[in-house]
């Protein structure tokens, strides 16, 4: 089996997933995992496929584009990878970081730089702006992160709260299991 990562983008409309997965099925591909979202009217999806026959990334991209052209116009990028490169053997635990406050430039940059400086991998992130009842625009950020077990969580929480205080944001860091239990939802 050969493993590929596909990144698909398009203007949002019904049928994109059906068209792409139909093309993948015609190749005998198995979808190992996928994630999809729509932001501002744009569809984006990333998926990992295993295919029984070796095909170059360029030819796989061409095949997907040809077999979806009748039903939708998409952009596709393809990378070859290995199943081994997709498995994470590092000593880390998953946490959920939530932050919110008055919208301002640089919020995502500040938090992502802090996480990168502390070797924390962002697995999933979602942010959006929303007006509150006072008319102020608030920014909400939620990120699922892997934190190496070598870090002292109490110090990390203090650092993140201080970072939040610097930009007038409320910041909460919770273990994924606690977040899931207290919110009664499964975080992707």
Length of the chain: 188
Same domain, 111 and 79: no
Select from 86, 105, 122 the last residue of a domain: 86
pLDDT tens readout for residues 126-172? 999 999 888 899 999 999 999 999 999 999 999 999 999 999 999 99
Q: Is the domain of 59 the same as that of 10?
A: yes
110 plus 76 within the same structural domain: no
Does 188 map to a domain? Answer: no
User: Higher-confidence residue: 61 or 89?
Assistant: 61
Q: Which two tokens stand for residue 129?
A: 């702006």
Range of the domain at 30: 2-86
| pLDDT tens figures, 32-48 | 999 999 999 999 999 99
pTM of the model: 0.75
27, 52, 86 - which closes a domain: 86
Do 75 and 56 belong together in one domain? yes
> In the listed set 55, 86, 117, which residue is the last one of a domain according to the structure?
86
- Are 165 and 108 found together in one domain? yes
Sign of CA dihedral 19, 23, 25, 29: negative
Strands 42-51 and 75-81: unpaired
- 69 plus 33 within the same structural domain: yes
CA–CA distance, 57 with 29 (Å, rounded to integer)? 14
Number of domains in the chain: 2
pLDDT in the model for residue 180? 73
Q: What is the pLDDT of residue 89?
A: 62
Together in a domain, 66 and 9:
yes
Which tens digit of pLDDT belongs to each residue from 73-96? Answer: 999 999 999 766 666 566 889 999
């Amino acid at each position: 089996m050969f493993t590929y990562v596909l990144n698909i983008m398009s203007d949002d409309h019904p049928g994109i997933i059906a068209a792409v997965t139909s093309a993948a099925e015609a190749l005998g591909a198995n979808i190992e995992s996928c994630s999809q979202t729509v932001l501002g009217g744009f569809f984006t999806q990333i998926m990992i496929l295993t295919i029984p026959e070796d095909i170059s990334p360029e030819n796989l991209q061409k095949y997907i584009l040809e077999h979806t052209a009748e039903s939708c116009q998409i952009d596709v990028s393809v990378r070859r990878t290995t199943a081994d490169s997709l498995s994470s053997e590092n000593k880390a635990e998953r946490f959920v970081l939530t932050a919110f406050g008055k919208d301002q430039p640089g919020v995502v940059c500040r938090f992502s730089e802090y996480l990168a400086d502390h070797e924390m991998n962002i697995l999933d992130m979602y942010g959006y702006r929303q007006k509150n009842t006072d008319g102020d625009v608030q920014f909400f950020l939620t990120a699922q992160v892997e934190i190496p077990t070598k870090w002292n969580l109490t110090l990390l929480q203090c650092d993140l709260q201080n970072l939040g205080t610097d930009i007038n944001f409320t910041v909460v860091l919770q273990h994924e299991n606690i977040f899931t239990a207290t919110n009664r939802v499964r975080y992707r």
